[in-house]
Chains A and B, each alone.
Chain A
Amino acid sequence: MVAIECDGLRKEFGAVTALGGVDLAVEEGEIFGFLGPNGAGKSTTIDVLLDFVRPTAGSATVLGHDAQAESAAVRQRTGVLPEGFEVYDRLTARQHVRFAAESKGVRDETDPVALLERVGLAEAADRQAGGFSKGMGQRLALAMALVGDPDLLILDEPTAGLDPNGARQLRELIRTERDRGATVFFSSHVLGQVEAVCDRVAILQDGRVAAVERVDDLRTEMGADTTLEVTVERLPDDALAAARAVDGVETVTAEPDAGGSDGDAAGPTVAVACRPGAKLAALNALADNGAPVADFATTDTSLEDVFVAFTEEAAGDGGSGADAVADGGRGDRR
């Protein structure tokens, strides 16, 4: 079953085209990342799914309901963490959650404090939300989104305002909700967040979907996951051969001795390209075969690299957002 389906979604605000024909299908039960730089159209797409704005052309279906004609039915079964919202200053956290429960008709089954507990806000349950930080506001909206065990969670930039610990709790919560059977649709321009938790991602660029891929496949397309730079004391050929034989290692290349330019990094260097799980095995293979490891460093191919590659491709077709993509991705990353 398809949880979210967009078909040729277009949205024009006056002369500005926010969405230039978005096609998208999110399967039930998956964690789907919706990636793109600011201004790519992520929030506009979500606004259409929730009937905050009406598309100029095309249609959207959410949980089998037309997103425009049957919006209330959509929102009855959906939990939303919107972007750019504000909480009600004069109401307490508990009143917010109770309001969500009343709105969904599940007041009697809902325990506001338990939900606030899940997002780490229980101790602030009876404080007015006007004094909350941005992160606390995010947590509060998340607690409201969880009311009534929704079939679909739509989270628009959910990590905005969260500290690293909060972001980790959010990822755990997202997995828990998925395991319960919910579909999670998660937009972000912070690639690390998406990479860590999503099954599939769509990359949105200039109001169009530039790519939809499984996160694993994206990495594969980019080549090896990890590059290990290993400095060894000696480098016999046996060690190279042993490292190449390790399962998950793709290439092993001996590099010229960098000792001259780099002070204490005396000794030969080996570059090992491998899957992340094979790193330790590769190091052990070197050490056990006459090449004691003096030092090593790793470089992961992140989604960010993938992202930049994809959007530069799109930019080659006449787009102009590649710079913004790279800036947005790096600047905000953890």
Chain B
Amino acid sequence: MTWQAVARKDFADAIRSRSLWPVAGLFVLVTTGTSLVLTLFSTQSASAADSVVGIARLLKLLAGVLVPVTAVLVGYRAVVGERETGSIKLLLSLPHERRAVVLGKLVGRSAVVSVAVVAGFGLSTAVVAVFAPTTLPVFLGVTLLTVLFAVAFVAIAVGLSAATGSARRAAAGAFGAFVVSDIVWQRVPGIYNVLAGGSGPTPAWIYFVQRLSPSGAYNGAFAAVGGSSSLQASIGGPVPPYLTWWAAVAVLVGWIVLPTWLGYRRFERADL
């Protein structure tokens, strides 16, 4: 396998893309700015640990929107862009298996998005650490989870990019996945409550359905740093295994593996 060479090339290529910088820059600016403002205000009140989790929660909310958008923008042209320009002929004239191309693209583009995430959260972490150094683990945890979340959307975009011959279709599919995941799917418990009459605790499996989307899984995984007391309140009892944070992490991993594999399957059979 030669995916490392593809990944290195792709990272060097994509990181120089000017269209990426406005989004990534916005992300870094917003996360850092938010944590700076919140830190300055909240350290005067409440307990430091609580406010840090609060800041992390807000950053997660921002990242929930900005990260998928960045990931999709970085990823959707990964394979199909090379097909449309014809540079794929240069790429596949070299001894790369097609699975190495898809894997290399996933790794290369994930690295690009991870740089943006780590930069944004890294600065935020530095800001918060100045005021509350003991809460570094919270921020490292959120950073890792966000990287995982970002890679899931890169995988969706790269998978679609490998599956189709049209960049426009890949973009539409990937942004569609974001809209469904972040806006529609998040409302699953709310929709259920309306349909069910709105009384009593929501059944736990409804939350599991919600967590099957990448955004739902990202939010669910946040329990790793933020605890699960509000979830316990919602379902009215202890958290079952399928609603633990690591189950949500497993779902995120699934969102990395499955789209990549399906995209590869289509790409493998395609005439270029």
Contacts and interface: CB of A to CB of B under 8 A. Distances in A.
Nearest to A80: B93
Contacts of A47: 271-272
Interface in B1-40: 2, 4-6, 8-9, 12-13, 16-17
A72 B13 contact: no
Contacts of A71: 97
Contacts of B269: 54
Nearest to A82: B89
B111 to A, nearest CB: 15
A50 B2 contact: no
Contact of A76 (B8, B9, B95): B95
A215 B90 CA distance: 30
Contacts of B4: 102
- Taking residues whose C-beta sits less than 8 angstroms from the other chain, chain B's interface range is 20 to 34
B12 to A, nearest CB: 6
A95 B94 contact: no
Given A52-B271, A53-B271, A54-B271, A102 B5 contact: yes
A99 interface: yes
A90 B17 contact: yes
A103 B271 contact: no
Nearest to B90: A85
Contacts of A144: 90, 93-94
B82 to A, nearest CB: 9
B227 interface: no
B95 A104 contact: yes
Contacts of A145: 93
Given A90-B13, A91-B13, A103 B95 contact: yes
Interface string B92-107: 1111110000000000
Given A47-B272, A90-B13, A91-B13, A103 B94 contact: yes
A307 B245 CA distance: 71
B85 interface: yes
Contacts of A96: 90
Contact of B97 (A52, A72, A104): A72
Interface string A36-49: 00000000000100
Contacts of A72: 95-97
B238 interface: no
B95 A84 contact: no
A285 B80 CA distance: 67
B90 A75 contact: no
Contacts of A141: 90
A82 B90 contact: yes
B87 A88 contact: yes
A87 interface: yes
B237 interface: no
A72 to B, nearest CB: 5
B86 interface: yes
B89 A52 contact: yes
B93 A50 contact: yes
Contacts of A252: none
A87 B9 CA distance: 12
Contacts of B13: 88, 90-91
Given A50-B92, A100-B94, A144-B94, 4 more contacts: A90-B17, A103-B6, A103-B94, A103-B96
Identify the 8 closest CB pairs spanning chains A and B, nearest first.
Answer: A80-B93, A82-B89, A103-B94, A102-B5, A90-B16, A53-B271, A76-B95, A85-B89
Interface of B: 2, 4-6, 8-9, 12-13, 16-17, 85-87, 89-90, 92-97, 269, 271-272
